[in-house]
A and B are shown apart, each in its own frame.
Chain A
Amino acid sequence: GEDVEQSLFLSVREGDSSVINCTYTDSSSTYLYWYKQEPGAGLQLLTYIFSNMDMKQDQRLTVLLNKKDKHLSLRIADTQTGDSAIYFCAETAGGYNKLIFGAGTRLAVHP
């Protein structure tokens, strides 16, 4: 079936790197996504990776995809207090690519 799992909490010190991990089940997913949700706000698309890639870098963000293990990670370099939010991993499923979301990882950045 379709399922996405993420660890629920991550706490890091400002300036350190954060790594958020995700596992998914649908091997036919074309794209895998990371969305960010700040308190009381909507979902902001952070980045995505096409299933035939194994890495994508976008400024402070690095996405790694291990298709064999169905494992996706998001690394945030030089984490700032403004990065505190919930980060959702999502896989696409079905012909019209409905998004299946993980439960979200709550990232807390402390001084």
Chain B
Amino acid sequence: DTAVSQTPKYLVTQMGNDKSIKCEQNLGHDTMYWYKQDSKKFLKIMFSYNNKELIINETVPNRFSPKSPDKAHLNLHINSLELGDSAVYFCASSWKGETQYFGPGTRLLVL
């Protein structure tokens, strides 16, 4: 009965590949987010969707494309992976922009 889940937990891939990370929440929330945590543990928002509509799009390379098929899911697709994309990616959800609950993270390593 995990509230916010992400798959995969770990992802190791070569430079230039395309990969996707999936996120699902069963909290009935209407807003979902992607955050990136770098090697120094610094966390920064990337995207947010409210009711399947993109509402926050920070300065992120357009190799990153979020997709929300429904309110409970928010996926992140990354094209042409680069070394600098190595990080932990966290999904979060909230009800109407209130308290955000985070998933366990996806640890991406680009070789």
Contact = CB atoms under 8 A, between A and B. Distances in A.
Interface of A: 31, 33, 35, 37, 41-45, 48, 86, 88, 92, 94-101, 103-104
Interface of B: 31, 33, 35, 40-45, 48, 50, 55-56, 58, 90, 92, 94, 97-105
A43 B102 contact: yes
A99 B45 contact: yes
Contact of A96 (B41, B48, B104): B48
Nearest to A42: B104
B101 A45 contact: yes
B99 A45 contact: yes
B45 A98 contact: yes
Contacts of B104: 41-42
